């Protein structure tokens, strides 16, 4: 069978892929962790914007891939699956051992988010470079110890789209089989 003979199925898979991608984007911007209503979201939303899907037809094999593109591709698996800390385990294949996240990356995140510093009473304090670097080190050390909980934005997006498109994908595949049989076997099945 060629791509043309999978016409209905490929068309439906494009809808499925677009919905799964959009659901993953929503998941990246709407997860709540503790007091943080927008966990994982930064000012630029790079990972959220980089989500994409791709359909490849190779002979009789159709592959639908959903993931991040560009620079976000490097860290998307760690956000999706989480990272085990030295004290807390999240069931992730990734773990912190003797290294912690780079302080420079945490500082950049603090500027992008933006994070405002507070004293022990909860009052805002002046953000000097020394205090920012000190707090970034504390955050990096905490991430190393506690790890990063998994977000499963892609998995949940795929599952949401699967529930929505299950029946229509089956109908599209059946239509393609019916067209194939009519064109190549000179018979029309009764469905």
Structure confidence by residue, pLDDT tens digits, 42-75: 567 888 899 999 999 888 889 999 999 999 999 9
Are residues 97 and 164 located together in one domain of the fold?
A: no
One domain, residues 16 and 66: yes
Identify whether residues 108 and 63 lie together within a single domain.
Answer: no
Residues 159 and 93 in one domain: no
| CB neighbour list of residue 114: distance below 8 Å, 6 or more residues apart | 43
Structural domain that includes position 157: 1-75+151-191
Q: How long, in residues, is the chain?
A: 191
What confidence category does residue 2 fall into, taking pLDDT thresholds of 50, 70 and 90?
very low
> pTM score, two decimals?
0.80
| Strand ranges (E), the chain | 51-58, 61-68
Same-domain pairing of 163 and 142: no
Which residues have CB under 8 Å from 121's CB, separation 6+? none
For residue 4, what is the DSSP state? G
Residue 57: per-residue pLDDT:
87
Indicate whether 135 and 156 sit together in one domain. Answer: no
Residue 131 φ/ψ, nearest 5 degrees = -65, -40
In this structure, are 66 and 134 located in the same domain? no
- Can you give the pLDDT at residue 179? 86
- Report the domain count for the chain: 2
186, pLDDT greater than 60: yes
């Amino acid at each position: 069978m060629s791509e043309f003979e999978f016409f209905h199925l490929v068309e439906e898979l494009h809808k499925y892929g677009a919905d799964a991608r959009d659901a993953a984007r929503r998941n990246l911007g709407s997860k709540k962790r503790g007091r943080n209503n927008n966990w994982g979201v930064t000012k630029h939303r790079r990972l959220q914007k980089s989500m994409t899907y791709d359909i490849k037809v190779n002979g009789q094999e159709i592959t639908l891939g959903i993931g991040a593109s560009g620079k976000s591709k490097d860290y998307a698996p760690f956000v999706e699956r989480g990272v085990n800390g030295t004290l807390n385990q999240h069931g992730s294949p990734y773990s912190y051992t003797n290294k912690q996240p780079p302080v420079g990356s945490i500082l950049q995140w603090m500027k992008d988010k933006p994070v405002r510093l507070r004293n022990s009473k909860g009052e805002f304090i002046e953000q000097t470079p020394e205090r920012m670097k000190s707090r970034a080190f504390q955050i990096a050390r905490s991430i190393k110890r506690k790890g990063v909980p998994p977000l499963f934005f892609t998995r949940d997006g795929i599952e949401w789209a699967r529930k929505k498109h299950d029946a229509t994908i089956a109908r599209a595949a059946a239509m393609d089989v019916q067209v194939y049989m009519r064109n190549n076997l000179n018979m029309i099945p009764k469905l």
